[in-house]
Structure 1
């Protein structure tokens, strides 16, 4: 015997008859001598009690505590374990073990070993872990949340697969191929998965069963043709398939692991789960469509017939928003051309007009019997499903089941557990993808690498993903300049991060967006909203849009029952272009001026580097900026839409957190904000700092092919240009006040200001604004209070404007304020007295 007997009341089935229990060694199995007998030292040192499978007393202890006895590696009947696999939780703590025994002349034995506690203390038992059981290598999933996964049938094959697929996580479920449904597969939700089962009937069944489970979790699943793989001899010739052949056998036979990996990928086919139809009561759903049993006639002449209602569709789950409201059904069907359609149908719509519901579904290719529209609504109202789907109304980051995930049309990035998450159709933007990340890097990424504005544009497109992490509001950049500078090329490059560059693609028009601003913003939440040609939007619409886009909230609207519907919300970076600055465009509306808050939310950045190449730093490979612009356009329409999603995946995989993002932004602002700058410059610097952070992270994570520091340098240049464009480091409100008064004097100094001495022949051109007196440096303009408020300072805080000018010596001071008393036409009047120093810039105090 390999173990010594100890008297104890609770023991194995054999030992109970004799009043003994097993006490076995806790040493690991010795791989070099798997059938070695237990040595005397092992017997003396063995302190762990391991009872047999039949002992059900006590409670499971998991994870295994630090004070637990070491687990045994020797079984009383099967001897030394040849291999031990440890199952751990996400934090790396031991949950249980699986031991493999290969006793001489007997069939292999694979037994689970778990820790239990009873009245005596801790006991290791050759007993399985209760369902739902954790996956092998679970701790590696937490450390690599975006890594692809390889699933095998058994731990030995999983270890072999890990040698073949170095960039993937290899795993399996415990307790063999018959227990796939007893495992907890939710940690794999949304991942790319390759299943490699054994080449036998149980292996094929296991692979398909796991694939169906994972497909319901939103995984992209492929299955290796295990039989075809087992038919390949090591020398490449054909052979009869080796039954039960798997990954471990492949590694034993072939030392070229790269060749095995290529062969497995070549033999893998995407898994498509068959349709799952739901029938209930009088309704029957199958591939032929939905039918309903209907009784026709009366009495003895009645008969039951099946009435066809509509073509076949699946009910994938019950839907609701993240707050448990707006319940509905999630449907899937194929139209007459075989195209797949997914549709969220709200329960409120099911309580409405059946004809409207049927028309809406028919418009997407579901064939509906006009005479059975009410039956279709009744089926949908009553059908039940176990599946649950969360519907979100905007793209980007969401907290689902306590986990942050990033939602895009057709994909969810990050670990979302067992919950399916979908984007409401009204929020689906023009996201698209073509080619690979490497192709994008070699195209747009490389073409823009040496050009600061291109780097800035692409970094802006990536920065939206960091708004949530940094806790920042939205905002953006507006590239300003004449035609032919290359503004469109900058926008093509930015758009290619999430979709196609040139039209029809990811770029939208300011004009079109003004009519659907909230929907456009929600569909670009946490990404970038690229808007072309600001000149097409009306000034009044632009003024409201700048605030709305940055603030991230739409208008409150009434529901049908009179209650307020929850407004749309978003976090978005904007990348705009136009020939006018935001201030100039808003100023096209008579009497309107841009607010300082608007100008610090979307920053005017010149689309000219001043180097003789327009928006570029050089003429590119052909020393021709025009050809460079064409090359960027071509590249952004051939490989696109991969950089943005991959950036998010790598942020998640590397565990980038808000604290790190905020620290990088703080480093930028500390280094780049000029001394004595006002708070508006600080806010603009934070926005550009976030853009710089996105670009630098993208470089570090391997998404962009730029040198380190390129994004920082581009953002720093943009900040300096913006500060120069606004007139320096003083608050924008100060500059606006001075400019507004100066403009009125410049335009109307003679024509609408009457000489105080009543000059002969003077006639005002338009309504009089005030009076003028003195000459040269002594010239003054006297403005009545109401005119100062309504015309000279229209759109400004007139008191603040007076204070600004007065403190700079541009306005005469009165003892009690800024309106001294002057005698005009024989009457004392309080007026604002503007001095000639208004034309000297800052001026000086009294």
Structure 2
């Protein structure tokens, strides 16, 4: 066979060589694959053309061990794996040895607990390969985060509109990552593809079964039914639309137990809600309101049966719950998604589950960049606001203290638009809050925006006597100590964040209006910045071909309400 045309080395987690996969190109144009492994022959270690012991190790096992927090891309074949590294630099790329033929012989355990994206070859064997890996992972962990890459629907070329050109022809049979590189795809071009067009979730085949029984209840596609007795026979009484209880949740101290649920609303959108078990006591009205508000259909005559369904549930899977967003060890938790890797899934679970989160995603990252990010160019205050909003996740690692930035200037100068642009990093218009609040309420807001940004509009709406205390509290990063009904100290709320404020006057002038005086600690925690950029257009210096500053401001407001949340998610994807 001559010399191999390609050699792929398999290593263990410490980086020591386990063996090689050799590719030989035959004169006939065909290829053949041969394993080369180490064997003990009468006490002598020798290389032999023999297969690896079962279970087979994954390719790049040393990189999987060295980068435990990074997501994993699984392709088919070592050649594709080497090519895909440049297309997905934030992923550890691996493959099962011998591809589709030997998935059942591969040790997939290093993939458990990690975010996995599978890129199948464009053929029947490739799709079978992806399905086998996905189902194997879901069988071992029903909450595994597994997605499969869709076939590329675009060309690796940008049109005049700055977007990718559509793919008008079917991709060839067997198309893989190596072919994509040869075609001209790069990591930068792949970033233009919207996430929902790039990949889709792999669901367990067991979840696709129409019906199963859980205690005294039957669950199928038409709903959850209580099994009751009537005249000696079992009858099914519908209590709600389909609601699957998929995991038990608890915190790191094995307290605050809850139930993780999944269900679809009337439009078919999938919802995932963590229900604290403490809400099952009493009337249960609080948890039912949340489920109803999210689109679950409940027969209120059977509300007690619904509570009993929750109480009897004993799912095998476990998840770790936290009660605040932000960093928790090596994962970052937002209301709808957790970023990073942990030995078990981490979710947000709070008793006030009826509170509507202001965090959310609308549109695509490229749209935010085009319609909002580009408009920040040449506008120093907008750029500063965006930078402040992006800083929150880095405060922990940088050990930087909390603080605030106050844009001070006349009414209608565009100050609130700077807040809206900053807020669009993480969510919609609900991210912009008012100064008109109490000290207790501001502590709750700070906890809700931990490790991100808090945007407070119009300082003048808060009493001068409270303004200084609020600024000091936000900068201090901790709520006041309070007693519970037994006289014991309640746990204090804590937060890390930078906050952005607006107002026609500064903190010192506002407090002085009521005879107050700014303490040094208060003034340091809220830096005063003139909102007027001295260009005759209020806070703006560049209105990007708009007719007036007001027109530019109105357009900007429309854009931040249309496109938001994608920048924060993209940032966390790259910092985990």
In the superposition, the TM-score normalised over structure 2's length comes to 0.78
Deviations 1:148-178 (A, max 9, x none): x653333344346568878876431236433
| 2:145 equivalent in structure 1 | 218
| 1:483 equivalent in structure 2 | 411
User: Among 360, 366, 369, which residue is 1:432 paired with?
Assistant: 360
User: Among 199, 202, 210, which residue is 2:123 paired with?
Assistant: 199
Pairwise mapping of residues 706-785 of structure 1 onto structure 2 (< 5 A)? none
Q: Distance in 1 between matches of 2:445 and 2:53?
A: 50
Structure 1 residues 541 and 340: alpha-carbon distance in aligned structure 2, compared to 1, 3 A threshold: farther
Asked if residue 492 in structure 1 is aligned to residue 420 in structure 2, the reply is yes
Q: Distance in 1 between matches of 2:293 and 2:198?
A: 36
Asked if residue 361 in structure 1 is aligned to residue 291 in structure 2, the reply is yes
Q: What displacement does 1:258 show?
A: 4.6
Asked if residue 247 in structure 1 is aligned to residue 176 in structure 2, the reply is yes
Stretch moving more, 542-551 or 434-443: 434-443
SS at match of 1:305: strand
Q: What displacement does 1:648 show?
A: 3.5
SS at match of 1:290: strand
| 1:295 equivalent in structure 2 | 229
SS at match of 1:605: strand
Q: What displacement does 1:607 show?
A: 1.6
Q: Distance in 2 between matches of 1:137 and 1:623?
A: 58
Pairwise mapping of residues 49-128 of structure 1 onto structure 2 (< 5 A)? 83-88=6-11, 92-94=15-17, 96-99=19-22, 111=35, 113=37, 120=43, 126=50, 128=52
Q: Distance in 1 between matches of 2:500 and 2:525?
A: 12
SS at match of 1:494: helix
Deviations 1:371-415 (A, max 9, x none): 54444333323322232222222222221xxxx222223233333
User: Among 408, 411, 418, which residue is 2:334 paired with?
Assistant: 408
Deviations 1:450-490 (A, max 9, x none): 23322222221122222111112211111112213331232
| 1:319 equivalent in structure 2 | 249
SS at match of 2:508: helix
Asked if residue 548 in structure 1 is aligned to residue 473 in structure 2, the reply is yes
| 2:307 equivalent in structure 1 | 377
Alignment check: 8 A CA contact 1:586 1:593 kept = yes
- Which one has a bigger Cα radius of gyration? 1
Alignment check: 8 A CA contact 2:381 2:418 kept = yes
| 2:317 equivalent in structure 1 | 387
Alignment check: 8 A CA contact 1:528 1:573 kept = yes
Q: What displacement does 1:625 show?
A: 4.2
Structure 1 residues 518 and 511: alpha-carbon distance in aligned structure 2, compared to 1, 3 A threshold: same
Structure 1 residues 588 and 393: alpha-carbon distance in aligned structure 2, compared to 1, 3 A threshold: farther
User: Among 168, 174, 185, which residue is 2:97 paired with?
Assistant: 174
Q: What displacement does 1:128 show?
A: 4.2
Q: What displacement does 1:268 show?
A: 6.7
Alignment check: 8 A CA contact 1:427 1:520 kept = no
Structure 1 residues 349 and 643: alpha-carbon distance in aligned structure 2, compared to 1, 3 A threshold: closer
Deviations 1:586-635 (A, max 9, x none): 34445x32221111111222222445443344666569544543454344
Gaps of 5+ in 1: 1-34, 37-79, 227-235, 653-846
Deviations 1:5-37 (A, max 9, x none): xxxxxxxxxxxxxxxxxxxxxxxxxxxxxx24x
SS at match of 2:119: strand
Q: Distance in 2 between matches of 1:416 and 1:513?
A: 37
Alignment check: 8 A CA contact 1:158 1:247 kept = no
Structure 1 residues 341 and 597: alpha-carbon distance in aligned structure 2, compared to 1, 3 A threshold: same
Deviations 1:175-202 (A, max 9, x none): 64332884035378346x35214623x5
Structure 1 residues 344 and 433: alpha-carbon distance in aligned structure 2, compared to 1, 3 A threshold: closer
Asked if residue 636 in structure 1 is aligned to residue 560 in structure 2, the reply is yes
Q: Distance in 2 between matches of 1:225 and 1:490?
A: 37
| 1:305 equivalent in structure 2 | 235
| 1:189 equivalent in structure 2 | 114
| 2:160 equivalent in structure 1 | none
In the superposition, the TM-score normalised over structure 1's length comes to 0.55
Q: What displacement does 1:577 show?
A: 0.4
Q: What displacement does 1:271 show?
A: 3.6
Q: Distance in 2 between matches of 1:182 and 1:217?
A: 16
Q: What displacement does 1:330 show?
A: 0.4
| 1:601 equivalent in structure 2 | 525
Structure 1 residues 376 and 115: alpha-carbon distance in aligned structure 2, compared to 1, 3 A threshold: farther
Q: Distance in 1 between matches of 2:575 and 2:177?
A: 34
Pairwise mapping of residues 29-68 of structure 1 onto structure 2 (< 5 A)? 35-36=1-2
Asked if residue 464 in structure 1 is aligned to residue 392 in structure 2, the reply is yes
Deviations 1:754-788 (A, max 9, x none): xxxxxxxxxxxxxxxxxxxxxxxxxxxxxxxxxxx
User: Among 484, 496, 503, which residue is 1:571 paired with?
Assistant: 496
Alignment check: 8 A CA contact 1:309 1:376 kept = yes
User: Among 510, 517, 539, which residue is 2:435 paired with?
Assistant: 510
Alignment check: 8 A CA contact 1:96 1:113 kept = yes
SS at match of 2:407: strand
Gaps of 5+ in 2: 154-167
Q: How many residues matched?
A: 542
Q: CA RMSD in A?
A: 4.3
Deviations 1:101-152 (A, max 9, x none): 7999999565474678x994767685646669545476279569767x6533
| 2:77 equivalent in structure 1 | 154
Structure 1 residues 433 and 180: alpha-carbon distance in aligned structure 2, compared to 1, 3 A threshold: farther
| 2:131 equivalent in structure 1 | 208
| 2:447 equivalent in structure 1 | 522
Q: Distance in 2 between matches of 1:469 and 1:518?
A: 23
Report 1 or 2 for greater relative contact order, CA contacts < 8 Å, sequence distance ≥ 6: 2
SS at match of 2:431: coil
Q: What displacement does 1:533 show?
A: 0.7
Q: Distance in 2 between matches of 1:112 and 1:179?
A: 21
Structure 1 residues 331 and 629: alpha-carbon distance in aligned structure 2, compared to 1, 3 A threshold: same
SS at match of 1:516: helix
| 2:218 equivalent in structure 1 | 284
| 1:701 equivalent in structure 2 | none
Structure 1 residues 583 and 290: alpha-carbon distance in aligned structure 2, compared to 1, 3 A threshold: same
Structure 1 residues 348 and 278: alpha-carbon distance in aligned structure 2, compared to 1, 3 A threshold: farther
Q: Distance in 2 between matches of 1:397 and 1:95?
A: 37
Alignment check: 8 A CA contact 2:67 2:92 kept = no
SS at match of 1:380: helix
Structure 1 residues 577 and 522: alpha-carbon distance in aligned structure 2, compared to 1, 3 A threshold: same
